[in-house]
Amino acid sequence: MNYDVIIIGAGPGGVFAAYELMQHKPELKVAVFEAGHALSQRRCPIDGDKIKSCIGCKSCSIMSGFGGAGAFSDGKYNITNDFGGTLYEYIGKKHALELMRYVDEINLRYGGEGTKLYSTAGTRFKTVCIQNDLHLLDASVRHLGTDINYVVLENIYDYLKTRVEFFFDTPVQTISTIDGGYEIKTKDGAYTCSECIVSVGRSGSKWMETVCQDLNINTSSTRVDIGVRVELPAEVFAHITDELYESKIVYRTEKYGDKVRTFCMNPKGAVVNENTNGIITVNGHSYEDPAKQTENTNFALLVAKHFSEPFKDSNGYGESIARLSNMLGGGVIVQRFGDLIRGRRSTPSRIEEAFITPTLNATPGDLSLVLPKRILDAIIEMLYALDKVAPGTANDDTLLYGVEVKFYNMEVEVDRNLETKYPGLYIIGDGSGITHSLSHASASGVHVARNIAEKH
């Protein structure tokens, strides 16, 4: 065998697996294959000046490379079983939380010291939410911020690079079983290992599907979350974000009984494009460094759509809706809430006249031509509900960017060791469909690494 362990994907799942293996068994020969660039080479060409929107790079630096989709993220590590994945269903709630806290300790040790840990439990805002039919989920949130998150990754890479072999710009094409292990094929050749950890995240979801088909591993895909990113003056949410930073608020609509939730809140942040398999959707960032902060806060409002038999392609459904916005707007569409309510499109002049400056250069348009009525109705209801706890939310000038889609990777059949039916083949992180967040993905990497270390 070339290696004891091959890790595919250098996102948080893969990185923490490599880190933990080196903590327990530094003598193991470990290689990491990553489709994207090394951290220092990762650069999104959008500068807001010469290049204003996504040009579809061969390897998207936002989604791929050392650090994975999390590298330029806001670095919010939510330490909770309430959202961010269902890792606890496999390894138990207590153990899942322990691993998330362990990941937090490592982040602090590698540059995150001094960053804030927020907590929602027992706050006055929780009471105010309940009084207004809104439900605040409990979580501790470590906010590293995009800048410190990058420093932590740099430091972890410095630690790993002398111990683990990294192959960047090297997507793995196939995985096959061989006697006593696995063989992976890349453009530069084939490599063998006794154990293989697959951690390819959302950007590797299509490829993951083919691997599961080829190896006959059972999968299921029934959920997609669709919605918009809301941007408003930071003052409107300041009383919430100053105390809690990130708040996950859930609302059940009166009209249909659908659940809408806030997601990925970025105080004084910026709205950004996200490219998933060539489809442009919207996301958000924020920075710890005051010099980089904006005057706006953004967050997503998402409606979960669960499908039942015979429909099996929930992500395909989400992609079709995102494609529609790309078709109409050439990318992401932005609309003032007031224009949406009055049934008219936003125009460049209406956006210009608003009392808020958009942080993303999106195409003014009409989201009612893109989002299904049921989803749009739910979002409008939620905006009015939020207005009661954060007056100003349902203001005419509040900006809605669409569409934001949260794709869930198909869930792959694995056991409590996150091991497939093939001994020594593990599927972890967002690529497994089990995690959807930095902390859960990282924790899944630690979990698998410890199991492997125990065996050797």
Ligand X SMILES: Cc1cc2nc3c(=O)[nH]c(=O)nc-3n(C[C@H](O)[C@H](O)[C@H](O)COP(=O)(O)OP(=O)(O)OC[C@H]3O[C@@H](n4cnc5c(N)ncnc54)[C@H](O)[C@@H]3O)c2cc1C
What residues line the site for ligand X (CB under 6 A)? 8-14, 33-36, 62-65, 68-70, 73-76, 78, 84, 171-172, 199-204, 207, 264, 274, 283, 429-431, 436-439, 441
> For every residue of the chain, which 3-state class applies, written as one string?
CCEEEEEECCCHHHHHHHHHHHHHCCCCCEEEECCCCCHHHCCCCCCCCCCCCCCCCCCCCCCCCCCHHHCCCCCEEEECCCCCECHHHHHCHHHHHHHHHHHHHHHHHHHHCCCEEEECCCCHHHHHHHHCCEEECCCEEEECHHHHHHHHHHHHHHHHCCCCEEECCCCCCEEEEECCEEEEEECCEEEEEEEEEECCCCCCHHHHHHHHHHHCCCEECCEEEEEEEEEEEHHHHHHHHHHHCCCCEEEECCCCCCEEEEEEEECCCEEEEEEECCEEEEEEECCCCHHHCCCEEEEEEEEEEECCCCCCCHHHHHHHHHHHHHHHHCCCEEEEHHHHHCCCCCCHHHHHHCCCCCCCCCEECCHHHCCCHHHHHHHHHHHHHHHHHCCCCCCCCCEEEEEEEEECCCEECCCCCCECCCCCEEECHHHHCCECCHHHHHHHHHHHHHHHHHHC
Q: Which is nearer to ligand X, 340 or 425 (CB)?
A: 425
| CB of 381 closer than 8 Å to CB of 374 | no
User: 270 vs 376, which CB is nearer to ligand X?
Assistant: 270
Residue (63 or 279) nearer to ligand X, CB? 63
d(CA 129, CA 394): 16
Q: How far is the CB of 107 from ligand X (least distance, A)?
A: 12
| Residue with Cβ nearer ligand X (185 or 455) | 185
For residue 161, the minimal CB distance to ligand X (Å) is 16
Cα 231 to Cα 97, 218, 236, 278, 300, distances in angstroms: 32, 40, 10, 24, 9
Identify which of residues 69 and 351 has a Cβ nearer to ligand X in the complex: 69
Between 157 and 337, CB nearer to ligand X: 157
HSE, side-chain direction, 13 A CA sphere, residue 193: 26
**Residue 15 Cβ vs ligand X, minimum distance, rounded to whole Å:** 7
Q: How far is the CB of 399 from ligand X (least distance, A)?
A: 18
Minimum CB separation of residue 343 from ligand X in Å reads: 32
Distance in Å, CB of 291 to ligand X, minimum: 20
The minimum distance between CB 74 and ligand X, in angstroms, equals 4
**Least distance to ligand X from the beta carbon of 369, Å?**
26
Indicate the residue among 305 and 406 with the shorter CB distance to ligand X. Answer: 406
Nearer to ligand X, 65 or 181 (CB): 65
Residue 435: CB minimum distance to ligand X, A? 6
Least separation in angstroms between residue 359's CB and ligand X is 14
Crossing angle, helix 12-24 and helix 145-160, to 10 degrees?
Answer: 40
Closer to ligand X by CB, 201 or 364: give it.
201
| Angular region, 310: left φ>0, alpha ψ -120 to 50, beta rest | alpha
Q: Measured from the CB of residue 188, what is the shortest distance to ligand X in angstroms?
A: 12
- Which residues are 339's β-sheet partners? none
Closer to ligand X by Cβ: residue 346 or 439: 439
CB nearer to ligand X: pick between 275 and 346: 275
Give the shortest CB-71-to-ligand X separation in angstroms: 8
Could you give the CA distance from residue 230 to residue 239 in angstroms, rounded to a whole number? 17
Nearer residue to ligand X within complex by CB, 64 or 297: 64
